[in-house]
Amino acid sequence: MANLHFHYGTMGASKSAQLIITAYNFRKNGNPTDVIKPITDTRFGATTINSRIGLSVDAVALPDLSSYTPLPDIRVILVDEVQFFQPSDIDRMVDIADNSGRIIMCYGLMVDSNENLFPASARLVAVGAKLHRMESNCQMPGCLNLATHHLRFDSHGNVIHNGDAIALGDDNYKSVCRRHYNEMYHSHTR
């Protein structure tokens, strides 16, 4: 079994819910598990990971992973919102996975709302993490296509094209299929 995994998908693909279920199952079966998230993710509190369906788990919030060292009994490390870490943090995870035999499962987004790979996500791909695409449907009314992109909206409902591609929370985002993304994001240029 691969020991470094990247579970990725759009917002609403149940990534955090799956992390919480995975933590529960590993712990239930006697496998001590660390749950980590970036300190910048304060949506549901400093040390909690919540899913949209109401599940939650306690987590350790870290600014980076440079000094993270799991306790000797830890067998599994679960990382939420991995896209907010740095490529050097992924290299730390690679070192832990390769030299300790621990299983590391990262959960997060692959691309931002401007179709750019997050640097940490790109690093996970580059170092050969086993990729697991988590699927959800487009959030446009009546569309059943696979959601592959995120659209970010301002307070007036206009698609944001410039500036930061990251904002915490999902009130101003929609996960959409490629067709709807191209229609809405590129409509002013095509």
- 62 bridge partner residues: 38
Distance CA 98, CA 95 (A): 5
What tokens does 80 get? Answer: 């939420």
Asked if 49 and 92 touch (Cβ cutoff 8 Å), the reply is: no
Provide the 10 A C-beta neighbour count for residue 15.
24
Which residue is catalytic, options 81, 115, 135, 183? 81
Measured at the alpha carbon of residue 49, what is the angle toward residues 43 and 52, in degrees to the nearest 5?
75
Burial of 77 (0-12, 13-18, 19+ CB in 10 A): buried
Q: What is the rounded distance in angstroms from the CA atom of residue 98 to the CA atom of residue 29?
A: 23
Helices (H), 33-141: 87-100, 119-126
What Rg do the C-alpha atoms of the chain give, in angstroms?
17
SS3 state of residue 131: strand
Catalytic residue flag (residue 135): no
> Catalytic site residues?
81
